[in-house]
Structure formats: C-alpha cells, structure tokens
Structure 1
Amino acid sequence: MASVFVIEDDRRWRACLREALQPMHSVVFTSENTTGYDLLAREAHEAVIINLEAISSNGIERLKELRRVLPYTPLIVTSPLGATEFIVEAVKAGAVDFVPKPYSGTRIKLAVDKALENRSLRDEIDYLRRQQDIIYDFDGIIAASASMKHAMSTIRKLAHSDSVVLMTGETGTGKSILSGAIHFNSARRRKPFVKINCANIPEALLESELFGHEKGAFTSANKTRVGRLEQANGGSVFLDEIGELSLALQAKFLRVLEEKAFERLGGNQTIHSDIRIIAATNKNLDEQVTNGAFREDLYYRVNVLRVHLPPLRNRRECIEPLSYHLLGKICRTARKRIEGFLPEVIALFKDYHWPGNIRELSNTIERSVFLEENRVIHAENVFLPLPARRSDRTDSTLKELTLREKEMILDALEACHWTQKDAASMLGITPRMLNYKVKKYGITHPRWRKNR
C-alpha cells in the first residue's frame, strides 16, 4: 500500500479520488494552500496529486518548488486547463503525468499506478547501482599474496586514468571483475559499462555487435541496430579476449582507439563515441605480433597501461580467503547454510594446480554446496579432475580419489536423469570430458542405447 498525498479543494473530486484509490492506497487530502504544501514537505509519500485549477497563475512555479523539495517523488497534475502549452510547462516543471479534468476514476488510478511503478523501477536501479559499487569495491577484492597485492596496487592507479588498459593473464584469473573495478572507480562510473567477449561471438556477427548495422546491410538486417561501442558512449568498454579479433576487425578497431569514430556496418555516417577501452587477453600478444596474427600498430595502442594477473597456483595465499568468499556468495544464491570447509578440503584446494583459476575454484565450490548436507564442506563432496592433481600421491590415495570421482559422476548423472550434457554442466566440465570419463569408468545406462 502506497501513501498518496492529494492537494484538492473540490469535494466531488476528492470523492472521486477516494473511490478510485482506496483501499489499494492510503490517501491523504489537504487544501491548496501554504499549509498543505508545508505538510507535504515534512511527510514522506510515494506519489502526489496536485490540482492546479485554483492557482493557475502561480501553479507552475509552485510545481517547480515542489520538485526541488521532493526530487524523487512522482508529481501528477490535474487541471481543466488542457492547452498543449500548459501541459508542456507542467511537464517541464517536474510533473510525471498530466490528467485533464474532467477525468474518470480509472484514468487517475492508471496515472498513479504508472507513477508508482516507475518509482519502484528507479529505486531498484538505484539499489542495483549501489550493490554494483559494492561488488566492484577495491577493498572487497581479495589479494593476500605479494603478486596480487602488486597487481591491485597498479590497478588502483590505472582506474584514475582515462587511457587504454590491457590486462593479461590466464582464463579465470579475474580480469572481468577487475575491469568492472576499474570502471566503477573511475570518473566514468555513472556512465555505461559494456562487456564484449570476442571469443564467444562468431566472427561474422562480431562486427555488427561492435559497430552496429544499418537496415539492409545484410540479408537478415531488417532494422537498424546500435552497436555496443555506440551504446557505451561516455562510459567504458571491456573488450575481453582482444587477441581473438580478426585482422580486418583489428584495422577497424584501431580507428576507434585513434579517433573514437566508426561507421555502422552498411552505413556511411561517421559515429563518434566517447569511450574508454579496457582490454584483456589470455594470449601472448608479443608472439601474435611476431607471427602476424595481431597488428603491431594496434598492439602499441592497447599496450599503454598494462597489468598482469597471476594464476591462482602462483598465489596460494589467496586460495583460502577466496574459498570462503565464494562459499558465502554461492550459499546466498543457493539459500543454503554452510559455514566453511574441513581442514583437509582447504589442504586439497591448496594442493591443486587450478588450471581454470578462480572460475574453476568457484565451480568446484558450487558443486560441493549442491551435494553437501552438513554445515561444513567435506572432502567426499569435492570433485577435482585427477590429471591436474600433484603426482606425489601414494597408490592407495589415488585409488581412493578415483572411486570418489566415479561416485561424483554417477551422482551428477542420476541428478540430471542421465542426460550427459546437463551432468557435465553441473560438474563444471565439458561434455567431451564427461564422455571420456564415462568410458574410462565403464559407466553405462539403458537410456543411452535407446537414444543412439
């Protein structure tokens, strides 16, 4: 139930408003006088309905005054003065809607519902922005090792610059999160932040994704599309896996860096977009330049402010605090109460090579949370691929781990009704890897034979 404040003298319109809005909303009435406006400034209400009929000579100024006092409260204006010029003035003064008299109860109810919905959406966006600021807060990023502390010290400095940033490091080391930290701690924080993964978009579509296209640019282009670079105007663009760009797209992107200008696919109008580029790659761009796979001139343009993110195996001091951080995040999403890990689990995590880095650690913990029925994660609910484990284990330990892996695969297959694709997703491995392990352990099921 929302509180709606109404400034209205006429008893007939008060009755109409009361009938239309109650009992869905709490309606507070006052007369059109100074006392009513003062009362409105002192009390909190979700929406305001103002009759400008009696004070049409100074109603617009009064509306402007209210907008200054209540910058986020939707103001709905009613008046028999329905001239276009008057409506435009009212909207410019801060009204979110203008309802001319005479109006029906249905019309005023629609105006209030729309205003409340828009306010709710705005509040939600503001909340998400605050949450996003928390997510990308530098102090919330775990850096327990010397190498990661050095990287974070560099990133903090880079955030205040407006130059191109290039982050290097293996897949899963946190480049995406840190690109957001750079943007949301920069002067562009209130402008758009657009992420583009060059490796996930087919080359035929990537040009349109980046630059947009005009209607008729190609067979399926039935309307004009604004590209991601244009959408990000004023903000930042995170170009993940920049090493995957084709040479043709590299040439076009070079112009973006040099002139901040481009044309849509199939168009001839030059579009200017004020953007900051944050690029990332897991490839060795120096080698790609030598091999002719990456333009040397583009390399010099993106390799301005460079920071390297070390792999998780080289910052083992971060593994335990990262594990607890990820556990809390995953448990909130899964609505489970798991408080921590047994010591042997942390030891197992620290002993593992983590080829997939933080992303693999997160997937491993998520699977463990799904399977765990106790308050702490037990080792039997931790699944890690055997080939990447350290090789200094005894034969009995390896045999025990092999049995555990097979049990984890069987549990996942059963939970997913023996659909291998879904089971692979649950386990955080590729369907091809699961198929390999199914054959390795001799796992069969009658349903698979029927589907062949």
Structure 2
Amino acid sequence: MKPNILIVDDETPHRAMLDTVLSAEGYNVIQAEDGDEAIELVGNQFFNLILMDVRMKRIDGIKALQQILKISPQLPIIIMTAYGSVDSAVKAMKSGAIDYITKPIDIDILKISIDKALTSQQITEENALLKERLGEKFDIAGIIGRSKPMKRLLESISMVAPSDANVLILGESGTGKELIANAIHQNSYRKDKPFIKINCAALPDTLLESELFGHEKGAFTGAIGKKMGRFKLADKGSIFLDEIAEMAPPTQAKILRVIQEQEFEPVGGTSSIKVDTRIIAATNRVLKKEVEEGNFREDLFYRLNVVELKVPPLRERSDDILPLSNYFLAKYTKKNKRQISGFTPMAMDLLMRHDWPGNVRELENIIERSVIMTRSNTIKSTDLPATLRGEDLDKVTEPVDLTPGRSLKDVEKEMILRTLEEHNGNRTHAAKTLGISRRTLQLKLKDYGIT
C-alpha cells in the first residue's frame, strides 16, 4: 500500500511541484491549501506523514501542527520554513514536528527526511504491535532485539512464560540464554519467588550434586555442616540449569526424580525433601545428538524439552548489531567515566560485517575494550581488534586496495569510509576533502546502510 502524504502549503505552484515529485516517488499525495483544511482532512482520513509550511494565511503551521497532534498524536509532521527562520524551526520541533527543512526545498534532502520519518514510524508501529501481542505487562528483562528472529523469540516467551512448563533453551555460547531464562521467570506467576541459577559446567560432579540437592553434615570429606541445596532454595520459584549437557548420569537421574516426583534426598541424607520448582535448562550443545550418543538420558531430555526455545546467533540478527553496540557503548562509557559520542561509519561498517562467532558476548567485550582503549571521542576502526579490521584495514593510512576484480562501488565505499575515519566522522569535513557535497555523501552512506 502506498503511503499517504498530506502537503499543506498556501502557495499553489510550490504545492503542485511537491505533489509531482512525491507522486513520482510512489507516494499517494493529497493537498491542502491552509492549516484549517489540513486539520479537517486529518480528522476524516488516515495519513502516514504531513509536509506542512509554517507561514499560511488562515492558520499557520505551528497552530495547525498542535491541533493535528491532538487528533493524531503519533502522526509524523515535517515542517517547511524559510531559510534563516531558526526560531520557527525550533518552535515547530518543540511543538512535536519530527523534522524541518528550509525553503527553497532541496529535493534530495526532502526525500531523505521523508524516508527517515516513515521508517521511524514503521518501527514505532511494529513495536506497538509487538507490545500488544506480548501484553502490556510483559517484561523483556533487558533483552535488546528488533530483528525478526528476536521478535519471534519474544512472542514465544510471552506464550510459554505464564505456563508452568519446563523449558529448554538452545543456543550458541554468548547468545544470551540466561537473559531469556530471566524473562521467562519474570513473566511467570512465580516472579515474586526465588530465581536460582547454577552453571553445571562450573563444578565437578561431586560438588554439583551437593550444590543442587544439599548435603548432611559428614556426608563427605569437608562437609563440616548441613547445607541447603539450590532446589530447596528455589522452592515455589524457578531454577536455571545452565550447560545442562555437562551433567553426569547420576546427577541426571536425580534431576529426573525431582521432575517426576517433586522430591529429592540431600547427599548423605535418608529422608526426602518435597519441592515445587519450575526448571529452565540451557545448553549450547545439540542435546538430541547427546542423547543418541548415550551422553544424556533420553527420558530426562523429553521431561526438560516440554517447550524448546532457540536463541538465534548474532550473525542471523544483524538488525540488532547497531542497537546492541549503542547500548554497550552507553553502558561502558558510563562505567569508565568516558565521553564517547558514537562510532565512526568505518567502525560501524566493520561491526556490521563481522561474523560474530562469540555472539553478543563477543560484541560486548569488544565495545568495552574499545571504550577503554580509544583516545578519541568516537570509536574508530583502529580502536577495534585486528580480527575485525583484517590485514588490509589494519592501518587506515595504507593505500586503498585496487586489486583487479574489485568493483568501482567497493573502492569508492572504502575511500569514503576512510576519509570519514580521518575526520573523526565529521561529514561536512569529509565531504569537502572528497570534493563532493554533504548531501551526496549522505546519500552514499544511506546506500551503504550507514545512518
């Protein structure tokens, strides 16, 4: 469906020109000659965006803007103002305009502004729809994800969390399986009860059994007193068993008994302890293969795998790299008391192109390191590890790679990103060095997927 754009301007030739340009771009354009007509139209039909002049005869753009946003608070409005009318632009932005452009209109800038506004509106609507699907009270517990794979995962969490089913979370190391477990517990009816976590790979078998089920005094050498186990601590709540595939067969048998009979015996004990605990388990292994190879009990696998959730690796959710990077940048600049504004385009390009075998954990580690090591107020490509930069980008002063077979577009992209890097991301200075307009540079970066 074509987006509906309302053009509001009391100058008929200017309005007609904008209609022609935007119609050619594939938009469905409606015209209004003054603010009062625009208010009436918004009250009667749907628009995706409004492009409105400030100075009009009957009702000016600012007053019309304020009235329109009372009717449709989320409607994006771009204000057109005469060159040098800074006060009008500031007033428009304070009143709720999403952007402003100056007359005479630069068509390329207008297209960028409209595209940006519509994209932002689409994301807002998608988030609102997701929130509606997940429910107003759904707590994503610090999960950052706007990509399609993560949205699907969040929807699955919203459905399984309110149940009392055991959950098996699968995913590579560093994908954030513990965050998913947190979200399940925080959105269950057990959320006000304990949420106990244990990494099954972090302890030897004998100690793991003691940690899970507790022990009596004298049960083994070093057991100088009675100890309560994690399952008892998690009574009426949830327990998260991370790296479940590392558990030894005898401990697996005890876990199976807890699931089937809701009871267990402490190490060295003779009486059973009753518990009501929801089990959330996770592994980075293919658990079904472990079953086939005899390393994991098949009956326990099916008891744990009532609901299976797969956490996508970072390479399959590239839309999340930028928001995750910005989140970690804010986190570690605050922690290390640094003033770092963001990433240069070349640095962000390298982050976007990396395969991320260590997933989100690797990304977080790299951002933290870069925050600590950079001497600039932006993260440059040279602040990133050599594994991301590659040998040909190890030094931005090296000649541009003109190897036969490279496309002109690739060479141009490398030259533009390097020039931006040299100017610390300043697009005006970079454009001057490259001998192109700032507008042309903006369009090139947009084509590269860098904003």
After TM superposition, is the score higher than 0.5?
Answer: yes
Is the CA contact (8 Å cut-off) linking 1:212 and 1:226 kept in structure 2? yes
Distance 1:396 1:205, change over 3 A: same
Please state if 1:187 is matched with 2:183: no
Number of equivalences = 261
Please state how far the C-alpha of 1:331 moved relative to its aligned partner. Answer: 2.1
1:397 counterpart residue number: 393
> What's 2:314 paired with?
312
Q: Deviations over 1:285-314 (max 9, x none)?
A: 111111001101001101101110110011
Q: Give the corresponding residue for 1:366.
A: 368
Contact 1:261 1:271 in 2 (8 A): yes
Deviation of 1:333 (Å): 2.1
Q: Secondary structure at the match of 1:385?
A: helix
Q: In structure 2, the residue corresponding to 1:279 is in which secondary structure?
A: strand
What's the offset of the Cα at 1:343? 1.3
CA distance in 1, matches of 2:139, 2:385: 31
2:213 is matched by which residue type in structure 1? F
The code of the aligned residue for 1:319 comes to I
Query: In the TM superposition, what whole-angstrom CA distance separates every residue of 1:87-139 from its partner, at most 9, and x where no partner exists?
Result: xxxxxxxxxxxxxxxxxxxxxxxxxxxxxxxxxxxxxxxxxxxxxxxxx9317
Residue pair 1:189, 1:235 contacting (<8 A) in 2 also: yes
Distance in 2, Cα, partners of 1:200 & 1:140: 25
- Aligned AA (2:339): R
Aligned match for 2:238, one of 236, 244, 248: 236
Show CA shifts across 1:246-293 (max 9, x none).
111111110111122101000011111111111111000111111001
User: Could you tell me how far apart the structure 1 residues matched to 2:363 and 2:167 are?
Assistant: 26
Aligned partners of 1:213 and 1:221 also within 8 Å: yes
Q: Are residues 317 and 299 of structure 1, via their aligned partners in 2, closer, same or farther at CA, if it must alter by over 3 Å?
A: same
Which residue of the partner structure matches residue 253 of structure 2? 251
Q: Quote the offset at 1:203 in angstroms.
A: 1.6
Residue in 2 aligned with 1:352?
A: 354
Please tell me whether the aligned partners of residues 174 and 360 of structure 2 are also in contact (alpha carbons under 8 angstroms).
yes
Match of 1:285 in 2: 287
Contact 2:141 2:182 in 1 (8 A): no
Q: What corresponds to 1:20 in structure 2?
A: none
SS in 1 for 2:290: helix
C-alpha RMSD of the superposition = 2.0
CA contact (8 A) 1:338 1:375 kept: yes
How far the C-alpha of 1:374 sits from its partner, in A, is 2.6
The answer as to whether partners of 1:364 and 1:384 remain within 8 angstroms in 2 is: no
Q: Is the contact between residue 172 and residue 358 of structure 1 (CA under 8 Å) also seen in structure 2?
A: yes
Task: Give the C-alpha shift of residue 375 in structure 1.
Answer: 2.3
Match of 1:154 in 2: 156
How do residues 18-29 of structure 1 correspond to structure 2 at under 5 angstroms? Answer: none
- Shift, 1:329, TM fit: 1.7
1:271 partnered with 2:273 = yes
C-alpha change, 1:276 and 1:329, in structure 2 (3 Å) is same
Kept in 2, the 8 Å contact 1:235–1:276? The answer is yes
The one-letter code matched in structure 1 to 2:172 is E
Q: CA deviation at 1:213?
A: 0.4
Q: Which residue of the partner structure matches residue 206 of structure 2?
A: 204
CA shift for structure 1 position 332: 2.3
Instruction: Tell me the CA shift for residue 186 of structure 1.
Output: 1.2
Do 2:142 and 2:179's aligned partners in 1 also have CA atoms closer than 8 Å?
no
Shift of residue 215 of structure 1? 0.1
Trace 1:29-428 onto structure 2 (pairs within 5 A). 137-138=139-140, 140-385=142-387, 396-397=392-393
Show structure 1 runs of 5+ residues with no match. Answer: 1-135, 403-452
The alpha carbon displacement at 1:401 in A equals 11
User: Aligned to 2:369, what secondary structure does the other structure show?
Assistant: helix
Q: Is the 8 A contact 2:171 2:310 kept in 1?
A: yes
Aligned equivalents of 2:149, 2:191: Cα separation in 1:
27
Q: 1:241 to 1:139 in 2, by over 3 A?
A: closer
C-alpha separation between the residues in 1 aligned to 2:160 and 2:334? 32
Structure 1 counterpart of 2:436: none
CA drift of 1:143 comes to 1.7
SS in 1 for 2:285: coil
The 2-side partners of 1:150 and 1:255 are apart by 33
**Is the 8 Å Cα contact of residues 143 and 179 (structure 2) preserved in structure 1?**
no
In the TM superposition, what is the alpha-carbon distance from 1:400 to its structure 2 partner? 7.0
The answer (yes or no) to whether the contact 1:143–1:318 under 8 Å persists in 2 is yes
Q: Distance in 2 between matches of 1:210 and 1:140?
A: 27
Call closer, same or farther: CA 1:140–1:219 in 2, change over 3 Å: closer
Cα deviation for residue 373 of structure 1 reads: 3.0
139 and 195 in structure 1: CA distance in 2 versus 1, 3 angstrom threshold: closer
Residue type matched to 2:246 in 1? E
| Closer, same or farther: CA 329–218 of 1 in aligned 2, 3 Å | same
- Can you list the C-alpha shifts for 1:144-184, whole angstroms capped at 9, x where unaligned? 22111111110111111111011101011010111111111
Tell me the SS of whatever aligns to 1:280: strand
Separation of aligned partners in 2, 1:384 and 1:254? 47
Instruction: Return the offset for 1:319.
Output: 0.5
